[in-house]
Structure 1
């Protein structure tokens, strides 16, 4: 299985439809007060799905990265205890399955590696395949270092221990960075809700205040321009908050 693309489950697809349907109703009400506009906005659901898949893909990669961090820590400990590389992975599979459950992606990948070893496949090749399919930098780096260390006949347990420490530090730095960025992203999304709160408040306290903006061509043009400005500002803010560590 490759991890550079995301396939939505039926549950995720239905949830996405419901979220976009609600968004279509809200946008059509505040910008057009038109049922037709609601259906027109809903047509752009495939565009919304692109962003959903990107979000879920990044979420899955980060989850796998954290699970991988635990896996290599277990492998390093097993190697320090005198286990062979192959037995270290077998032991790691049992512990990862206990920690994250059988449905975890890392559990499935560990299981695939163990099965490959049982079929006399080379461990380095199995790791290289996982690193290439994962599209995760830390996994690729580990597989390359492991392969070089094992084939060169170097001190495997010391090399893997040092590599594990480096990767662990790198992931922790990413975790801190993501925590910082997530707070800024929350502030941005909160600010994006405020215009609707203000419009709702004015519309409730001053009925008819916005009537001139609805039901006529001039109003449609003005509100469409406002909608594009709003969406542009939202996407720009999301892009700024999407800085990678």
Structure 2
């Protein structure tokens, strides 16, 4: 009986010691983790403030350059606002810049906390954001060029004394052709269905070439020549 009681006492002592050691180990890990956690929080707070400031600065710069006004003239944003998707170019680019730096800050935080898988994932996200920014720039340039070509073609055809309906139709076709090509280029930059877009691009070019050939072959050669001369004069006048 004495041996049994002694064995039970020894087992209880061992269990108590094991529990104490477990809590001690957890406490030691927590104490060693606290400095890393505090460092990560400081980096996160400062980084978020910097990211928000840079986003606002870039948005303000774009507004100062009046790029929003150039995009508004294309009429695309107005149609998107009617569909409940209203946004401004300055706001979009500012938002992208802000989130790029937020992701960079989160990478730094994950690295401080030794979260390797999170770091790898956020690094992939950070590398993709510049593609989105470049795609936005491509779309912006395309919209501006499309509107410019629209105005040139419309004025050129008016000078040639062609019907107003023809002037507006051809100007709209010119603008939307450029916009469609621009959207395709932006999607390729984003890596979205690249092969499909390349096929669509080739088909669209072939369709336009065929339509142009038929137009000239069916008696539109003289009128097209007058339109091209008028457009050339308009471009020379503007330059």
Computing the radius of gyration over CA atoms, which structure comes out larger, 1 or 2? 2
Do Structure 1 and Structure 2 share a fold, with TM-score over 0.5? no
